[in-house]
């Protein structure tokens, strides 16, 4: 009883802290001095982790969220939990819908906003540009196809209702193009927190930017490194590894990726590199032996991949997938590995055909 009396206020304090640290859609976590991460909670929306940097007289936000509804929820969380200062810079690490489609809400709240991205990100976002990455269209088509799938159980019905709401929110969110492009690097000097925006090479897309806050030793990496498994589109895995090697040279103690929770230290960069090296090696070897995609996939289950067994990395990805349950990250790790291998197979095949 004596202990209980002592413990109860401590437990209550813990509970109220947890409640106060959570808003409707986001968990707000302080990463270091002047830097906060807003981690989306489990949802039918594929939503990015945003980072908020508190400068001396204004804020910078990295990642604009997946639609205006989510962006407005993030703005509320920022105002309630972090700061009332105006947002002067919004940085889009790359062009994918889950990172950019909430931009209009930021602009409405902050009319003087500057929206930064790599020139290739801007180009991919401009729908009339001659790019084959019709990103919003293909994302909407993908969601449509999931909505139209049969939903025999109540949980699947609930899931599809969530996806339908997401589809509506996305359709209500216009594309807002970046107003300032950074092809190489840009440094903003500030008493509280400098910003170093840098392009380190191709990886997840051809225009991934990273953001380093030197005073806080925080690196924000977009989808070049994060909590889940990497997603491959058109860039060769070999180039991505080169970019990871450059990224690792930056003197950071904390890493905030484009999805999931912030990480301490650089270990996650090593996990990604070993995984990318191993599965791309399997695909290269399979192609050399004349194997089909299915044969390569059958031989490359998670149990056969050393990079996933080491440090229990496969289980970490699995846990992150289960925690998020977004339309992209669904199902067991084996499926993730299969789709990674299929994407790399397509990339290597396209290279040899050219």
Who's near 229: CB < 8 A, 6+ residues apart?
275, 317, 333, 336, 337, 340
- Residue 93 CB, nearest approach to Zn ion (Å): 8
Strand partners, 219: 212, 255
Closest alpha carbon to 181 in 119, 120, 129: 119
- Residue 43 CB, nearest approach to Zn ion (Å): 17
Q: Transcribe 143-154 into DSSP letters.
A: HHHHHTS---SH
> Distances from the Cα of 91 to the Cαs of 184, 284, 321, 351, in angstroms?
14, 35, 26, 31
- Cα torsion angle, 248, 251, 253, 258, sign: negative
| 208 binds Zn ion, rule: CB under 5 A | no
Q: Are 327 and 156 in contact (CB under 8 A)?
A: no
- Residue 209 CB, nearest approach to Zn ion (Å): 12
Q: Are 36 and 52 in contact (CB under 8 A)?
A: yes
- Residue 229 CB, nearest approach to Zn ion (Å): 12
- Residue 313 CB, nearest approach to Zn ion (Å): 20
- Residue 1 CB, nearest approach to Zn ion (Å): 54
Closest alpha carbon to 304 in 341, 267, 266: 341
**Candidates 6-14, 126-134, 172-180, 221-229 — which segment interacts with Zn ion by CB under 5 A?**
221-229
- Residue 96 CB, nearest approach to Zn ion (Å): 3
Which residues ranging from 52 to 111 are in contact with Zn ion (CB under 5 A)?
96
Cβ-based burial of 131 (10 A; exposed 0-12, middle 13-18, buried ≥19): middle
CB atoms within 10 A of CB 64: 30
Q: Which residue is nearest to Zn ion (CB)?
A: 96
| C-beta closer to Zn ion: residue 207 or 286 | 207
| 223 binds Zn ion, rule: CB under 5 A | yes
| C-beta closer to Zn ion: residue 44 or 223 | 223
**Candidates 76-84, 191-199, 215-223, 299-307 — which segment interacts with Zn ion by CB under 5 A?**
215-223
| C-beta closer to Zn ion: residue 55 or 96 | 96
Q: What are phi and psi of 61, to 5 degrees?
A: -120, 135
| 282 binds Zn ion, rule: CB under 5 A | no
Who's near 202: CB < 8 A, 6+ residues apart?
208, 235, 236, 239, 240, 243
| C-beta closer to Zn ion: residue 216 or 228 | 228
- Residue 251 CB, nearest approach to Zn ion (Å): 25
- Residue 311 CB, nearest approach to Zn ion (Å): 24
| C-beta closer to Zn ion: residue 37 or 296 | 37
* Count of residues making up the chain: 354
Tell how far CA 59 is from the center of its chain.
Answer: 20
**Candidates 25-33, 65-73, 136-144, 219-227 — which segment interacts with Zn ion by CB under 5 A?**
219-227
Count of residues that interact with Zn ion, criterion CB under 5 A: 2
* Contact flags string 134-153 toward Zn ion, x per CB under 5 A: --------------------
| C-beta closer to Zn ion: residue 26 or 95 | 95
CB atoms within 10 A of CB 73: 21
Say how far apart CA 41 and CA 77 lie, in whole Å.
13
Residue numbers of the site for Zn ion (CB under 5 A)? 96, 223
């Amino acid at each position: 009883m004596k202990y209980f009396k002592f413990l109860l206020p401590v437990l209550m304090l813990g509970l109220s802290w947890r409640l106060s640290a959570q808003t409707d859609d986001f968990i707000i976590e302080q990463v270091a001095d002047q830097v906060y991460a807003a981690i989306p909670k489990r949802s039918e929306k594929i939503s990015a982790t945003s980072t908020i940097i508190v400068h001396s007289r204004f804020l910078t936000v990295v990642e604009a969220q997946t639609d205006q509804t989510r962006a407005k929820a993030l703005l509320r969380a920022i105002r309630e939990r972090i700061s009332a200062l105006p947002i002067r810079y919004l940085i889009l690490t790359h062009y994918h819908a889950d990172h950019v489609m909430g931009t209009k809400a930021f602009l409405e709240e902050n009319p003087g906003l500057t929206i930064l991205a790599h020139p290739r990100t801007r180009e991919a976002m401009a729908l009339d540009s001659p790019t084959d990455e019709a990103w919003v269209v293909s994302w909407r088509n993908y969601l449509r196809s999931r909505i139209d799938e049969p939903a025999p159980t109540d949980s699947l019905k609930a899931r599809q209702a969530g996806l339908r709401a997401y589809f509506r929110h996305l359709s209500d969110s216009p594309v807002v193009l970046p107003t300032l492009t950074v092809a190489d690097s840009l440094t903003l000097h500030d008493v509280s927190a400098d910003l170093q925006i840098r392009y380190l090479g191709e990886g997840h897309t051809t225009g991934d930017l990273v953001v380093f806050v030197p005073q806080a030793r925080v690196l924000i990496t977009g989808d070049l490194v994060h909590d889940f498994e990497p997603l491959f589109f058109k860039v060769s895995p070999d180039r991505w590894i080169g970019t990871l090697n450059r990224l690792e040279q930056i003197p950071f103690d904390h890493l905030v990726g484009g999805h999931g929770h912030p990480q301490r230290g650089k270990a996650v960069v090593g996990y990604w590199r070993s995984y990318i090296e191993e599965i791309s090696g399997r695909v290269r070897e399979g192609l050399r032996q004349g194997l089909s995609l299915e044969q390569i996939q059958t031989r490359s289950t998670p149990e056969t991949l050393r990079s996933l067994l080491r440090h229990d990395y496969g289980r970490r990805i699995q846990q992150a997938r289960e925690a998020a349950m977004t339309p992209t990250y669904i199902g067991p790790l084996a499926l993730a590995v299969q789709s990674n291998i299929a994407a790399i197979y397509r990339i290597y095949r396209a290279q040899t055909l050219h």
